Amino acid sequence: MSISANATEEEIKDTFKSIANYLKNYCVIKTKEKKYRILDFEFYYFNQNHQDIMTHPRNSEALCWYINDFGGMDLNFESKIEVNNESMVKKNFKTYSCRYKLSKDSYFGGVLIRQIQRLSDKVIFDGPLKVAELFRTFNASHQLQDIPILIIAPESLEKLEFASLKRHNLLGSHKDITKKVDYNLQSCFEKVDDYERSDLIDSVQNILDKESTNLCYRYCWAGFKAK
């Protein structure tokens, strides 16, 4: 779950494929005595050679769980970006957000878990918010032993076919790449100049053009009707 700050697009592509193979065929999420197979997941990653500004900025070690800004659950890549804690911005009446500083040394991202299946009874939990329910309401009075962890399945998993798809609802309500990039920049980052903004827009357009073809970002169990 580590991709270097200067990794090329080809190296990123190979890493995505390798990780996807494990998540599809070998890994489960274990919490208490229950195990869940991952059936749908999306990759998000930003570095100087792959400027996917759709990715939420974060600082993290590899293999950390991360609740993203929309309440979904990510499995983090190693991530590093400078943050200016002094530039707090009021987002609504009660909360504030710090600003991140984009640079050639910034690299961050993770794997959004969109769908899981409980192995004991085959019940499917569809959607990032349903997945995030695994991570709510833990006892705050003692050291936790039941927080969800990612493990290699102790038994062979059923062979399933996965489809390669475009990431779901990537532009949201904006429907326009320029508006979506501007929204993300205003929400998370310190001001970037017009040249950098233009490069970021072009990069996102290039990434969207390649999704499901040259570089796969989403893998979904083909037996489930994906959104």
Q: For 53-111, how does the pLDDT look when each residue is reduced to its tens digit (9 = 90+)?
A: 999 999 999 999 998 877 889 999 999 999 886 656 555 555 556 689 999 999 999 99
Is residue 2 one of the residues assigned to a domain? no
Give 198-211 pLDDT, tens digit per residue.
999 999 999 988 88
Q: Which domain holds residue 41?
A: 9-221
Structure tokens that stand for 223 in this block = 């037996």
Is residue 226 one of the residues assigned to a domain? no
Structure tokens that stand for 33 in this block = 């005595």
Is residue 3 one of the residues assigned to a domain? no
Predicted pLDDT at 149: 92
Predicted pLDDT at 187: 86
Is residue 23 one of the residues assigned to a domain? yes
Count of other CB atoms within 10 angstroms of residue 145? 7
- How many domains, the chain? 1
Q: How far apart are CA 70 and CA 108, in angstroms?
A: 17
Is residue 227 one of the residues assigned to a domain? no
**pLDDT-based confidence at 5, cuts 50/70/90?**
confident
